[in-house]
Chain A
Amino acid sequence: RLRIQAMATTPERISEKVVESIKTAEEVCAGDPVSGECAAAWDTVEELSSAASHERQKNKESDPLETYCKDNPETDECRTYDN
């Protein structure tokens, strides 16, 4: 089975929902695989997966030094002068 390590973690609140939505979709579709309910359930999975990936993207973009410098711009390692 294929496993890929997460690059950045998804916030717990979305991660939980993705797992939950997949479970629901599998249950709903077990009864009737071509119903509107089944499509709607998988659509929810897609929506949450997309939201999770956007959230991961946001978290990944934080550079530790830059985050620190936002709060402490006058420290030695953060000071920048235009000229």
Chain B
Amino acid sequence: MAMCTVYTAHSLNSSCSISTPTKTQLGFHQKQVFFYSTVKKTSRRGSSNSSEITCSAESKTVVIGLAADSGCGKSTFMRRLTSVFGGAAEPPKGGNPDSNTLISDMTTVICLDDYHSLDRTGRKEKGVTALDPKANNFDLMYEQVKALKEGIAVEKPIYNHVTGLLDPPELIKPPKILVIEGLHPMFDPRVRELLDFSIYLDISNEVKFAWKIQRDMAERGHSLESIKASIEARKPDFDAYIDPQKQYADAVIEVLPTQLIPDDNEGKVLRVRLIMKEGVKFFSPVYLFDEGSTISWIPCGRKLTCSYPGIKFFYGPETYYGHEVSVLEMDGQFDRLDELIYVESHLSNLSTKFYGEVTQQMLKHADFPGSNNGTGLFQTIIGLKIRDLFEQIVASKAAAPLEATKA
């Protein structure tokens, strides 16, 4: 397969330099072309030599969107996801120490806060929160995600969470898999159109409050009142701009208080629902025992030790915002993570490469939050589903030019 790198960086000076060091590799000519121009991708099609254009289309990037409010476990999910693809995700080497980007061999995760159009002082002056679309530059977000999807490198700004300022941009090269995570990945219809798969983490208010207490009470200056006030103040914007995005998601992970303990509000035992859209290309929902049936299952008994309050599974078809979906639900928590294999053996369509892969992935990160309940389990399953989706997209692209030559 011909490998080819085409990087276009948008810079201010419109000098154009084309270097073509031709070297033979596996019988193919590899060329590196660098374009520097102010005008967006004008010189791509205009080039008389067409070889580099055909091969750039071959290595098209798969784009995944992850939406969730701040403090709802996006980073844990990202760590589980990148782990499925192997190799640790790290910030870009030698760049801005406050960069929000994570890069591994296969994946690049970019934080959409980097597309804030207003910095902290700007938002303060205008009286808008970061949740407000007015504080975000969706035109730039669309342009850059589109460019990366087409295999073109971009100079992406950095929003510094510590200083609250927009730092000088960093160069992002097109990865195999691009994950855009943040508050608004599915807000703009143009950006939504670019996503190959989208996920929404839906944390109920009770659980969000419990999680933020865990996160912030140790911090100096915080009190129960300040945590409550912060959630309350952001809620109108959250309900108006973030929450509606879940109707567009291909998978939603809903985290609710347990129903196994009456009147529980500790937020330690969770009822987690994985809502999977039907009919999404390259994505077939997971099912329990029998596809399409409605099943309630309590695995505790002779084969699985559960202490109070036990574990309860549910599976069945439902409607979600007018879409047909399959829902898999787990209420309760595991006492012994290795016994998860018993549950895994009863789930189908997991897209694992070998028997026990879900359990193995969970055991690998036993120290991550949520490893003993449905959040960790469903995040891991979605990670495997994304790997499967990626492999299918790559395979279908490799098949397409073959078909063309046959015809």
Q: Is A19 an interface residue (CB 8 A)?
A: yes
A54 in complex: contacting residue of B75, B131, B226, CB < 8 Å: B75
Contact of A44 among B75, B127, B164 (CB under 8 A): B164
Contact B217 A25 (CB under 8 A): no
A18-B220 CB under 8 A given contacts A35-B127, A41-B124, A43-B130: yes
- A-contact bits for B30-73, CB 8 A (1 contact / 0 none): 00000000000000000000000000000000000000001100
Given contacts A15-B220, A40-B129, A43-B130, contact A25 B162 (CB under 8 A): no
A14 at the interface (CB under 8 A from B): yes
CB pair A52–B71 under 8 Å, yes or no, is no
- Say yes or no for B237: interface residue by CB 8 A criterion: yes
Are A36 and B127 in contact, CB atoms less than 8 angstroms apart? Answer: yes
Q: A40-B127, A43-B130, A46-B70 are in contact. Are A19 and B221 (CB under 8 A)?
A: yes
Q: Knowing A43-B129, A47-B70, say if A37 contacts B124 (CB, 8 Å).
A: yes
Q: A10 contacts B219, CB within 8 Å?
A: yes
Is the pair B164, A45 in contact by a Cβ cutoff of 8 Å?
no
Taking CB atoms and an 8 Å cut-off, the chain B residues in 258-300 that contact chain A are none
Interface residue? B120 (CB, 8 A)? yes
State in angstroms the CA–CA spacing of A68 and B226 once bound together.
39
**Chain A residues bordering chain B, tally (CB within 8 A):** 40
| CB-based contact B218/A42 at 8 Å | no
Q: Which of A17, A35, A42 contacts B230 (CB 8 A)?
A: A42
A5 at the interface (CB under 8 A from B): yes
Residue B402 lies at the interface, judged by CB distance under 8 Å to chain A:
no
Contacts of A54 in B (CB 8 A): 75, 161
Contact between A14 and B127, CB atoms less than 8 A apart: no
* Complex alpha-carbon distance, A77 and B131, angstroms: 50
Nearest-neighbour CB distance to chain B for A16, whole angstroms, equals: 9
Nearest A residue to B161, CB-CB = A51
Measured CA separation A22–B353 after assembly (Å): 49
> Given the complex, which residues of B lie within 8 Å of A37, measured CB to CB?
124, 127
A50 and B161 in contact (CB under 8 A), knowing A22-B222, A40-B127, A42-B233?
yes
**A6 vs B226: C-alpha distance when bound (angstroms):** 18
Q: How far is the CA of A4 from the CA of B213 in the complex (A)?
A: 10
Inside 8 A of B130's CB, which chain A residues have their CB? Answer: 43, 47
Beyond the given A17-B162, A38-B233, A49-B215, could you list 20 further A-B residue pairs with CB under 8 A, ordered by the A residue number?
A1-B223, A15-B220, A18-B220, A18-B221, A22-B221, A22-B222, A36-B128, A40-B126, A40-B129, A42-B229, A42-B230, A43-B230, A44-B120, A46-B230, A47-B70, A47-B130, A49-B71, A49-B216, A50-B70, A50-B161
What 6 A-B pairs have minimum CB-CB distances, sorted nearest first?
Answer: A36-B127, A19-B221, A42-B233, A43-B129, A51-B161, A6-B218
Q: Which residues of B contact A (CB under 8 A)?
A: 70-71, 75, 120, 123-124, 126-131, 161-162, 164, 212, 215-224, 226, 229-230, 232-234, 236-237
Task: Name A residues whose Cβ lies closer than 8 Å to a Cβ of B.
Answer: 1-7, 10, 13-15, 17-19, 22-23, 25-26, 29, 35-54, 57
- Some 22 contacts from A to B, beta carbons below 8 A apart, are A2-B217, A3-B217, A15-B220, A18-B220, A18-B222, A19-B220, A22-B226, A23-B221, A36-B127, A36-B128, A38-B233, A39-B128, A39-B129, A42-B233, A43-B123, A45-B230, A47-B120, A49-B216, A50-B161, A52-B219, A54-B75, A54-B161
